[in-house]
Amino acid sequence: MTTAGIIIIGNEILSGKVTDKNSPYLCRELRILGVEVKQIITIPDVPEVIGKTALDFSKRFTWVFTSGGIGPTLDDVTVASIAREFGAALYESPRIMEAIYKYRGENMTDAHRRMAMIPEGSELIEYTEGRPPQLQFHNIFIFPGIPEFLKIRFSGIRERFRTTPIVMKQIFLKADEGDIAASLDETQEAYPELQLGSYPKISGSDYNLKLTLECRDDQYLKKACDFLCERLSDESILRIK
């Protein structure tokens, strides 16, 4: 199983001044690619917290995606914090310097120059012509916090994360969760590799409960779906997709 952890960095997220749009986007994209997101965490612009969280996620997940804290201001400490926790020295990347200079020209300041400092052992991935390369350090991909920039960067490298796809069936019901809970428990016990979800719908549709069944094997999924449907009343099942 290919797994991922997402680290959202920024006091502005924790204070409610800015709404996180990056983790929902990454979750959707990674799911399509077959990568299972196991944890999302939002943390402040505190170097020790950033470094320790990145190291912990790096050990536990196949891929780690960070968002935020890589600009030219004082609270942009993500890269330096990760490097320090991993014991890696920083150096000025000529490739990033060139990209910054092409964009800023003679208006480039020392603050902009700090954005070219990266940890030794990093990989720089070209994703689109004329833009700074994407930074990868170990299994950590360090993204900007601005959603538009993150989307551009991720879309340019997304295929490197593709793995065995996750397949899904949806069952739409006229039923109460409490009435079918035992059937869901039986199905989960019989098919432990299945990811089984139950989502009530309050109003605005013909169904009031949607079940999702997910795994990485079509035949396994079909058997699990049949097993569950046998335990549901025919009149409660509206449709299966």
Specify whether 110 is located in the same domain as 175.
Answer: no
Percent of the chain with pLDDT over 70: 100
Specify whether 15 is located in the same domain as 80.
Answer: yes
pLDDT tens sequence across 148-181: 999 999 999 999 999 999 999 999 999 999 999 9
Question: Can you give the residue range of the structural domain that contains 181?
Answer: 167-240
Contacts for 24 with CB less than 8 Å, ≥ 6 apart: none
Domain boundary among 161, 193, 228: 161
Specify whether 109 is located in the same domain as 177.
Answer: no
Q: How confident is the model at residue 3 (pLDDT cuts 50, 70, 90)?
A: very high
Q: Positive or negative, the Cα torsion across 113, 114, 116, 120? A: positive
Specify whether 96 is located in the same domain as 207.
Answer: no
Rounded to an integer, what distance in angstroms lies between the CA atom of residue 30 and that of residue 182? 32
Taking alpha carbons only, the member of 216, 221, 219 closest to residue 163 is: 216
Specify whether 143 is located in the same domain as 226.
Answer: no
Biggest CA-to-CA distance, the chain: 72
Q: How confident is the model at residue 131 (pLDDT cuts 50, 70, 90)?
A: confident
DSSP calls for 1-19 = --EEEEEEE-HHHHTTSS-
Specify whether 143 is located in the same domain as 178.
Answer: no
Cβ–Cβ < 8 Å for 189, 224 = no
